[in-house]
Structure 1
Amino acid sequence: MSPSRAPRAALLTAVTVAGVLLLSACGGTSGGGGNVNFVTSTGGISTVEPADRKSAGKLAGKTLEGEELDVADLKGKVVVINVWGSWCSPCRAEAPHFVKVAKELKPQGVEFVGINTRDPNKSPALAFEKDYGVPYPSLYDPAGKLILSGFPRGTLPPQSIPSTLVLDREGRVAARSLQELDDKRLRKMVDPVVAEK
């Protein structure tokens, strides 16, 4: 690809990701991100057996507060990733549950990271975090570039807003939900990964 086409291709990719998320925003969809061996339970949570898991891609950048964050630095811990937007009603409904579970599981070495997307400026997202007392950082990804690069083919990518993913201690995608979660359903998703040795 010629140098002059590279920025145009990157923009087209970002627009495509934003379009996919727009079409599926605040709603559940099903399916995987390619040829994966996963099982979807009746509760809408997809899980992957340890032998079939694939590593997440690069999930790094600036948080809403302007700090640098690289999810790879959390390897060795179970990581819960929540894709959200301040404009999303299900995201607002599930926020108190995520705050509760993040505080409960922190002593067990579980880290939570948000990915804020489709908020064209940070102000509404920062207000969301303040209103709900969110104790964990969120990467700022207004155009969906992190979502595209962070979940390559063969993993369970986020396909709607909200989406929640659980990375095992090796940084591999172990579970995904494409629906709003309460604390019980979130724990149902995270606890089995925490119990793995």
Structure 2
Amino acid sequence: MSTTPVGRPRSESARRAVLQAVDDLLAEVGYAGVTMKGIADRAGVGRQTVYRWWSTTAEILLEACVADARDELRTVPQPDARRDVLGYLRLLEAFLLHSHAGLCYRVLLGETQHDGAVRELVARADILAPSARACLRRVGPRLQQDLDHDLHVAELVGPVVYAVLTTGGAPDLEALTDHLLAGWSRGGPAGA
């Protein structure tokens, strides 16, 4: 059995052009105005090329978002737990409020509310959890706690995502950091 992919291999330059085109179009015309034809035209590739690699605009947005999120949410370990958590929360805030990838993520979150296929895509991609888990794995041993659970990920990213989606800004990150660390130091959820 051959493991050679069927069809032409992806051109890396065409892929990058498509991902840049979807970012640009999203910022210019909003999600509703982004079409596969528009993406292909902006990227300077044929529509068949776009359709060969992606089925929907959501898939293209997600691919653009995942790679950028991985880079933009990479934290540098800090000497103490508070600075580690606060540093991560500041990166998360900047990602959600000022990054093209963050805009893509927010758009995709909105689409999950009425499009089951987009909901499945976003759930599988798990865009924020890897970076949050990396922070929690560093902080947990300092607090003598195992913080590598879905609940802890939700506690870390949830308040920032909620505030950005509902108010367009982030909560008081220093107060949030102190609240989280106090709860985790007691060995329970942050609100306990």
Q: Whose radius of gyration is greater, 1 or 2?
A: 2
Higher relative contact order (CA 8 A, sep 6+): 1
Write 1 or 2 for the structure with the bigger share of strand: 1
Answer whether TM exceeds 0.5 for this pair. Answer: no
TM-score between the two structures when normalised by the length of structure 1: 0.28
